């Protein structure tokens, strides 16, 4: 295990895992989902999903990785034998597809950062149409996304301690600083209170059956669960680390960033008198308009910081997404790390091209002939959501029926002397044996139906 590399410190692992979790999911997706799904009601259900379903899955993943000391495929294979390795491969593939479209959206954010900080973006008359032409102007987008992938690969190629850990140690504190600065600013804007009110006071009539699916998928996505990322990171964790405590800290760090992102975004949206339910365009269109209204200097500083924040967040996630397939090839195929990282990064970049071309410029990719006719990017993102929830569900069955919960407990008590016999142990026990497998099975089926055929016939 020693030549695979390890995180050099406990805090290094936690920052890297929190870095994986904190990403576009928190700052781009969470606010727009909350915006279209009833604000505070969404937040409330989201928190329940995290506590009840996500934290146990996270604990399970880290424990599997540390016990087996291998990539996602190798870990399931080692602890489960038989065909269990395929469950790891399922996750690795999901990660590959997530990174393919994620890197495209990261490219948009990178482009916005450059355009606001060094360009003329803040003098546009109409940000809706600007965004529409921006995401279809392929040559610059190609470069922005390629640039993002190259930076990701440069870091991952350096290895665990010198690459991934070092980058996260700089970016994560930077991210928190920028975020707090932006919240303080946005809370002082006129009409900020209406935004806070929308975000924090639940309106029960706005909670629908869909709110639950969106919240669940978002929670899995945001915590980077169900695709072997935390198994892979867990495999670089030393035995003195307290896994349960780490999982709690990572979840709190991730949830607090999502929560704070909402607290920054909604006051800005309401200060403009804009509509919060804008979908994926929310931060690109409405917030940019808000930055413009701040005047050329303040707008540039605040807007530039905002998109830099998004780039940092996205980068700490793309790093973890690239590490998963790279670790698989290094561990299983015994290939050298650097060429593997560059090769996989190149391949995933190419795989992302249909997503890049799906925003209107190629009509066929813009409206796929299935339920709700999504564009290719949204379609891949939906498929990946399904993969994460089902992957997490199957992991629970793996622990419950194959590896056995007792072995999980044994692994969790290493580095945590007070675990055995504690309340936490009973919680993990019930969660992994009953709550997660049962609820996640039902929800997996409903999520699949929802994405492919819709659920209106069931819930009205
Ligand atoms: N958690 C990341 C985010 O919120 C996305 C991600 C998903 C990263 C799965 C790794 C694995 O943006």
DSSP 125: S
Of 17, 20, 96, 223, the one to substitute when testing ligand 1's pocket (max ligand atoms within 8 A of C-beta) is 20
The DSSP element (H or E) to which 79 belongs, if any, is: helix 72-80
Determine the atom of ligand 1 nearest the C-alpha atom of 254. 4
Question: Is the distance from the beta carbon of residue 317 to the nearest atom of ligand 1 less than 6 Å?
Answer: yes
**Residue 100 beta carbon below 6 angstroms from any ligand 1 atom:** no
| Distances from the Cα of 146 to the Cα of 284, 335, 343, angstroms | 20, 24, 13
274 Cα–ligand 1 center, Å = 28
User: φ and ψ at 216, to 5 degrees?
Assistant: -65, -50
Taking only the tens place, the pLDDT of each residue in 250-295 is 999 999 999 999 999 999 999 988 888 888 888 899 889 888 988 8
**Nearest C-alpha neighbor of 213 from the set 457, 453, 396, 442:** 442
Ligand 1: centre distance to CA 163 (Å): 18
Each residue of 368-379: pLDDT tens digit? 988 888 999 999
Would you say 366 and 377 are in contact if contact means Cβ atoms under 8 Å apart? Answer: no
Give the CB-side neighbour count of residue 377, counting CA atoms within 13 A: 20
Q: How far apart are CA 281 and CA 129, in angstroms?
A: 11
Q: What 8-state DSSP symbol labels residue 72?
A: H
As a whole number, mean pLDDT of residues 138-152 equals 97
The whole-number pLDDT of residue 459 equals: 66
Q: Evaluate if residue 2 carries a pLDDT over 50.
A: no
The residue with tokens 């991934």 is 164
- Residue 414: helix, strand or coil by DSSP? coil
Q: What is the pTM of this model?
A: 0.94
Pick the atom of ligand 1 nearest to 229's CA: 11
| 296 sits in which H/E element | helix 296-332
Ligand 1 pocket, residue 221 CB under 6 Å: yes
DSSP state of 70: S
Query: Model confidence over 203-229: pLDDT tens digits?
Result: 777 788 778 888 999 999 999 999 999
| Phi and psi angles of residue 22, each rounded to the nearest 5 degrees, phi first | -75, 120
Least Cα distance to 64 among 302, 391, 289, 379 occurs for 391
Question: 158-167, pLDDT tens digit by residue?
Answer: 999 999 999 9
CA of 320 to the centre of ligand 1 (A): 8
Q: Does residue 20 line the site of ligand 1, with CB under 6 A?
A: yes
CA-to-CA distance for 186 and 269, rounded, in angstroms? 10
Pocket lining: 25 vs ligand 1, CB cutoff 6 Å:
yes
Instruction: State whether the beta carbon of 282 lies less than 6 angstroms from ligand 1.
Output: no
* 309 Cβ below 6 A of ligand 1: no
Residue 244 CA to ligand 1 center (angstroms) comes to 20
Helix (H, G, I), strand (E, B) or coil at 177: helix
Contact 113, 308 (CB under 8 A): yes
- Is the CB of 26 inside a 6 Å radius of any atom of ligand 1? yes
Over residues 291-305, the pLDDT tens digits come to 898 888 999 998 999
């Amino acid at each position: 295990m020693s030549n695979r590399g390890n995180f050099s410190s406990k805090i290094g692992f936690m920052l890297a895992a929190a870095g994986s979790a904190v990403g576009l999911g928190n700052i781009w997706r969470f606010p727009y989902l909350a915006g279209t799904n009833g604000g505070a009601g969404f937040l409330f259900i989201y928190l329940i999903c995290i506590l009840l379903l996500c934290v146990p899955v996270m604990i399970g993943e880290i424990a599997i990785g540390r016990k087996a000391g291998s990539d996602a495929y190798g870990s399931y294979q080692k602890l489960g034998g038989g065909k269990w390795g395929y469950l790891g491969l399922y996750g690795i593939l999901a990660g590959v597809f997530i990174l393919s479209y994620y890197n495209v959206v990261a490219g948009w954010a990178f482009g916005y950062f450059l355009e606001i900080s060094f360009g003329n973006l803040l003098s546009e008359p109409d940000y809706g149409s600007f965004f529409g032409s921006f995401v279809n102007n392929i040559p610059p987008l190609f470069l922005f996304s390629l640039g993002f992938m190259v930076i990701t690969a440069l870091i991952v190629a350096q290895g665990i301690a010198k690459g991934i850990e070092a980058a996260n140690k700089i970016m994560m504190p930077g991210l928190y600083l920028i975020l707090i600065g932006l919240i303080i600013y946005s809370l002082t804007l006129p009409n900020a209170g209406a935004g806070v009110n929308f975000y924090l006071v639940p309106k029960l009539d706005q909670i629908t059956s869909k709110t639950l699916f969106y919240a669940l998928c978002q929670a899995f996505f945001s915590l980077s669960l169900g695709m072997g990322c935390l198994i892979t990171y867990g495999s670089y964790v030393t035995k003195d680390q307290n896994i349960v405590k780490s999982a709690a800290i990572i979840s709190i760090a991730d949830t607090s960033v999502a929560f704070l992102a909402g607290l920054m975004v909604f006051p800005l949206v309401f200060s403009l008198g804009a509509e919060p339910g804008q979908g994926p365009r929310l931060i690109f269109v409405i917030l940019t308009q808000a930055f413009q209204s701040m005047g050329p200097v303040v707008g540039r500083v605040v807007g530039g910081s905002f998109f830099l924040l998004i780039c940092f967040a996205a980068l700490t996630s793309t790093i973890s997404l690239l590490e998963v397939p790279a670790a698989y090839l290094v561990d299983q195929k015994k290939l050298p790390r650097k060429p593997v990282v560059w090769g996989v990064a190149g391949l995933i970049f190419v795989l992302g091209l249909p997503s890049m071309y799906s925003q209107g410029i190629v009509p066929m990719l813009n409206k796929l002939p299935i339920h709700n006719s999504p564009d290719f990017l949204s379609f891949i993102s939906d498929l990946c959501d399904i993969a994460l929830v089902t992957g997490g569900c199957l992991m629970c069955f793996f622990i419950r029926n194959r590896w056995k919960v007792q072995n999980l407990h044994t692994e969790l008590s290493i580095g945590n002397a007070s675990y055995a016999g504690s309340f936490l142990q009973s919680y993990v026990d019930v969660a992994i044996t009953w709550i997660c497998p049962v609820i996640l099975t039902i929800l997996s089926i409903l999520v699949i139906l929802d994405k492919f055929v819709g659920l209106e016939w069931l819930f009205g």
